[in-house]
Structure 1
């Protein structure tokens, strides 16, 4: 069975990621390695490597593999970084980041999701991940600054606390827009301030919190 899932991961990389321009070898290796099927319910495991998001309970979703790869690649991780993730969800994106960075701090507002994600990551042996329940829109000030920040939910604006917690030279990726569709915004902290660029359209669940949407 595991063999089939490995084949499905390889196929996902070859058909969904590389043809769409994902080329960072480290990102591709992480996507080939992390067992996405373990981050969804057993009933959905056969669909785990398909080209679409899947429900994970509590009205939340696991993102489409391409979007996970695109957002991860935009951070340009080399392996030494301290990363902040907002919206742990099932923990799949967290695990991909953990393959590519030194340490990942991840915040989830729903305790039930965090509990499941923690269990999965412990089973898989990830030791460089720190998880907590909280309002991700205010970041994790006591651990700042971060070399990279990834937001796995759609925001009405770029949350200012996250920009403030970005190290100089750091990169923040966040979906920004209304509740129906967003644009991926890459924010780079440069010595003279911040530089923003846009990486295309997407659709995420709401980023809920002080600097996000009201519940």
Structure 2
């Protein structure tokens, strides 16, 4: 059976993403234009536009399309902004970030995922996304960004990452203990007040390596 991916993409935008309060035209146009199926493993390509999280290896998964849309909506990127992405995964969200922002640095701990994502981005002609194969908790950089997108869950809000945010910048993250996780947007206050936290919606993601909660033992 031949799949009409363009039609599937249009249906995804209109029936999944837009109804979940994703309304910014730049974001909807980006999602409607980027071929998500080219960022999905061949074995799962028929599900590229389904409302499911697709496995990508190492116990990790590609976000559902609605969650990708809400993530981009929360960050509200401007064309001249710089973004740090933590967890490249398939590279699809990296491509969306690259389409919406000026420059993207994406960190991926798994070398095979990083290599595959680089190849996909190159094939799509996306040249403003640079992927580094590294663990974010061991990464050092003096660079700062307008936005940070954390692609995996963390047990507690990662305030240590705010050192890479410019004043007024924002950080999207999903935090908590499964299944009661919450998406939040942290905003760098740009002064001694530190940061503010906006609670967005409930969801669930696999944890970033090194960011899972400490196991609790009960008698």
Q: TM-score, normalised by structure 2?
A: 0.91
Q: CA separation of 1:10/1:61 partners in 2, compared to 1, >3 Å: closer, same or farther?
A: same
Partner of 2:96: 96
Q: Which moved more, 1:90-99 or 1:53-62?
A: 53-62
Deviation at 1:158? Answer: 2.0
Partner of 1:33: 33
Structure 2 residue runs without a partner (length 5+): 215-219
Partner of 1:208: 209
The whole-number CA distance in structure 2 between the counterparts of 1:138 and 1:190 is: 25
Partner of 2:175: 176
Q: Which moved more, 1:60-69 or 1:191-200?
A: 191-200
Q: Which moved more, 1:88-97 or 1:184-193?
A: 184-193
**Aligned length in residues:** 212
Partner of 2:184: 185
Deviation at 1:134? Answer: 1.2
Q: CA separation of 1:2/1:21 partners in 2, compared to 1, >3 Å: closer, same or farther?
A: farther
The one-character-per-residue Cα deviations of 1:13-58 (angstroms, maximum 9, x if unpaired) are 0000111211000000111011111111112111100111111122
Alignment of 1:1-215 (within 5 A): 4-137=4-137, 141-142=141-142, 144-191=143-190, 192-209=193-210, 212-213=211-212
Q: TM-score, normalised by structure 1?
A: 0.93
Of structures 1 and 2, the larger Rg is shown by: 2
Following TM superposition, the consecutive aligned residue runs of length 4 or more in structure 1 with deviations greater than 6 angstroms are: none
Q: Which moved more, 1:31-40 or 1:173-182?
A: 173-182
The one-character-per-residue Cα deviations of 1:83-129 (angstroms, maximum 9, x if unpaired) are 00000001011001011000000001111111111111111111001
Q: State whether residues 155 and 213 of structure 2, in contact with CA within 8 Å, keep that contact through their aligned partners in structure 1.
A: no
Q: State whether residues 139 and 161 of structure 1, in contact with CA within 8 Å, keep that contact through their aligned partners in structure 2.
A: no
* 3-state SS of 1:141 partner: coil
Deviation at 1:2? Answer: 9.5
The one-character-per-residue Cα deviations of 1:132-178 (angstroms, maximum 9, x if unpaired) are 11112456523x21100000101011223311211111110000112
* 3-state SS of 2:4 partner: helix
Q: State whether residues 107 and 133 of structure 2, in contact with CA within 8 Å, keep that contact through their aligned partners in structure 1.
A: yes
